[in-house]
Chain A
Amino acid sequence: EAAVTQSPRNKVAVTGGKVTLSCNQTNNHNNMYWYRQDTGHGLRLIHYSYGAGSTEKGDIPDGYKASRPSQENFSLILELATPSQTSVYFCASGPGQGNERLFFGHGTKLSVL
């Protein structure tokens, strides 16, 4: 079973502050994804990556940046956090072979006050 680890598990931030959410996967998957989960919206894709050095915009990228410095690590960065970014964030990885099965982390609960 692929292992995807997110840190921190919980985060409280202030409006206007910078927040970095980290994700690490140990199964050498090419693709990694950041989703947010909100009541009434399900999961929405923020950014994704095909491999080290690559980042792509998902469906709701505004207000977020992503960084993929290595195969294992994929970060989501909120440069100027806003209360509307309060949510549960999930990282996922997949092998990159097309129509792929994703493996999810346990999530990061972010509250922006």
Chain B
Amino acid sequence: GEKVEQHESTLSVREGDSAVINCTYTDTASSYFPWYKQEAGKGLHFVIDIRSNVDRKQSQRLIVLLDKKAKRFSLHITATQPEDSAIYFCALNSGGSNYKLTFGKGTLLTVTP
């Protein structure tokens, strides 16, 4: 099936700095790229997504960039806060399906005060 590689397994930043998590994929047919956050001991919850008809989307302190030529998308968290500490997963729709998501392996983000 479709593969998505999440490049950073861990990331540590100081409070107030920006954090960037990068993912690459192989199938040019992928059209939907969501990001999910998992806090310790909990399930995942959606944070932001981007579709292939745009290359940038922002929601408050979160920015998602999509570079279709490079088959790369990234999550930028600006002005990080300790509560941003969590595991972040990139994902994309796979196998030509609108419903099946393939997830990256996750990035553990630690924001230190």
Contacts and interface: CB of A to CB of B under 8 A. Distances in A.
Contacts of A13: none
A90 B43 CA distance: 7
Given A31-B99, A48-B100, A58-B100, A42 B105 contact: yes
B32 A99 contact: yes
Interface in B5-54: 6, 31-32, 34, 36, 41-46, 49, 51
Interface range, B side: 20 to 34
A42 B44 contact: no
Contacts of A42: 6, 89, 103-106
A106 to B, nearest CB: 5
A41 B6 CA distance: 11
B46 A102 contact: yes
Contact of A48 (B42, B99, B106): B99
Interface in A97-113: 98-107
Nearest to B45: A104
Interface string B69-113: 000000000000000000001000100001111111110000000
Given A90-B44, A107-B43, A100 B105 contact: no
Interface in A54-94: 58-59, 90, 92, 94
Contact of B103 (A31, A43, A99): A43
Contacts of B98: 98-100
28 contacts: A35-B103, A40-B105, A42-B89, A42-B103, A42-B106, A43-B44, A43-B89, A45-B101, A48-B99, A48-B100, A50-B99, A90-B43, A90-B44, A92-B43, A96-B99, A99-B31, A99-B32, A99-B49, A99-B93, A99-B98, A100-B98, A100-B99, A102-B101, A103-B45, A104-B44, A106-B42, A106-B43, A107-B43
